[in-house]
Structure 1
Amino acid sequence: MLVGGVDEAGRGSIIGPLVVAGVSVRESKIAKLKEMGVKDSKLLTAQARERLYGEIISLSEHHHIHVIKSTEVDANVLLKGLNRLEAKAMAHVISHINAKEVFVDCCDTNTGRYRDYIASHLETVPTIHSLHHADRINVVVSAASILAKITRDAEIKKIRKRHRDIGSGYPSDERTMLFIKDWVGRKKCPPAFARKSWKPLRLMLEELEQRTLI
């Protein structure tokens, strides 16, 4: 039987895409993931994630990665639908990994509701386990978290090549926020690759609009 894991990277970021990844592994090979050193991507060094990325793809039966642009994130946040967007993306990934049983990292406070969101977008519904912190407690989800993180980092590197010092892309990063503040100050608009629905950038744009009206 194939067991699947699905996770995301970049949900809280103010720059760059939200990435959802999934893998399916034969039940008999799950122990091998642990032997390889697979764990939650946040607990691994960049070098370890790079090494494991190829090993995970080689070991898995299927993998699928879905990249959601900042503009799509914005459109759904404005409708208070970020959880539904992520659930739809997870359903898309699940439909490509052919697993009979799937573990997903749940972003909703209600795990059952989130499972039902995902199931509503699937024609064939496997057994879905919706869990908080699944990337820490389930090694197949950990494997998916590594694929998502590596893909997300690659997207950030593309932006960094053109715009240099953008930091990590997260609102908690002072370099990231200084980059956005400088951009808005000079160009009077947000970067296309930034999420203008996020509160820090939204406040900058509101302040800019107020200054323009004075």
Structure 2
Amino acid sequence: MKKYFVTGLLILVPLVVTVWVLRVIVGTLDQVRDWLPPSLRSATYILEWPGTGVLLAVTIVFVTGLLAHNFIGRRLLDWWEKLLARIPFVSSIYSSVKQVSDTVLSPNGQAFRKAVLVEFPRQGAWTIGFLVGSPGGEVAALLGDDQQTVFVPTAPNPTSGYLIVLPPAQIRELEMSIDEALKFVISLGVVAPGKTPGTTIIVPPAAA
């Protein structure tokens, strides 16, 4: 009975977690409908359908990017950023978030360029990290221009971690992709690079 129960868990747990994550994402994006005027929401019955908020959010993002690529859109964007820069407290939050988003989302950004191995937290203990780029500024002036910034994630939650600056001699580049390295960290080393995760079916001895 224990083996049958474990087999059921191996099948249902990934499915339930996947459905839960999708419901959270779709439910969050559906809240975009709340931005519309109440008269418009009540007049259009289609807006009450599940998933319409997702389509509306995607449309808003696409139209915003489309408008920002022409001359008038760029001028409006510059005016908007200058306006936010003059507002105390708001300017610090906006500028910080914008720098992070530009680094992570921009095609020319340096975020997570390569999966690497570094000795951390002590010599002789190796862990997977992600090469971010050169630190620049005062850090580069004190340590040298050849230094590299590496983000070392914590497992199984890679959204937190440590940011360390190392010379190239202490960094070993890996052939695995960023996705494979993240899977390795999140799975606590169970999903090895190049291995496709799947469901392991435990066959009871009687059935075998």
TM-score, reference length from structure 1: 0.18
Structure with max Cα Rg: 2
TM-score, reference length from structure 2: 0.18
